[in-house]
Amino acid sequence: ETGVTQTPRHLVMGMTNKKSLKCEQHLGHNAMYWYKQSAKKPLELMFVYSLEERVENNSVPSRFSPECPNSSHLFLHLHTLQPEDSALYLCASSPSTGQGYEQYFGPGTRLTVT
């Protein structure tokens, strides 16, 4: 499926690096999400955007900085990360954040912080 794409698929970065994850949805949806999934743990919702406005920020450290320039694109800017930030980062979109809408997920970016 190519409804939600993420780049890069794999990323290795040092703790002093700055990198960005990119997500693009081709479904015409108005809501986009960032999730973190650490090894053998459930998905953790990080950020929610609705019509390019951030509507949810689940106590995420400031070293993660989201950006939503339009309803089709979502970025996650990373800086000064810690080894425990190594995880699968998943982007998702949905028609709306309201009731009755399922989310469509991208393939994820596997991030390793060294």
- Contacts with another protein, residue ranges (CB under 8 A): 4, 31, 33, 35, 42-45, 48, 50, 55-56, 88, 90-92, 94, 96-108, 110
Closest distance to another protein from the beta carbon of 98 (Å)? 5
Query: Based on CB atoms, which residue is closest to another protein, 54 or 77?
Result: 54
- Show Cβ contacts of residue 42 under 8 Å, excluding neighbours closer than 6 positions: none
Query: Based on CB atoms, which residue is closest to another protein, 16 or 99?
Result: 99
Assess contact for 90 and 43: CB atoms under 8 A: yes
Closest distance to another protein from the beta carbon of 79 (Å)? 24
Query: Based on CB atoms, which residue is closest to another protein, 20 or 97?
Result: 97
Closest distance to another protein from the beta carbon of 84 (Å)? 19
Residue of 24, 35, 31, 30 lying closest to 90 (CA atoms): 35
Query: Based on CB atoms, which residue is closest to another protein, 80 or 96?
Result: 96
Closest distance to another protein from the beta carbon of 110 (Å)? 7
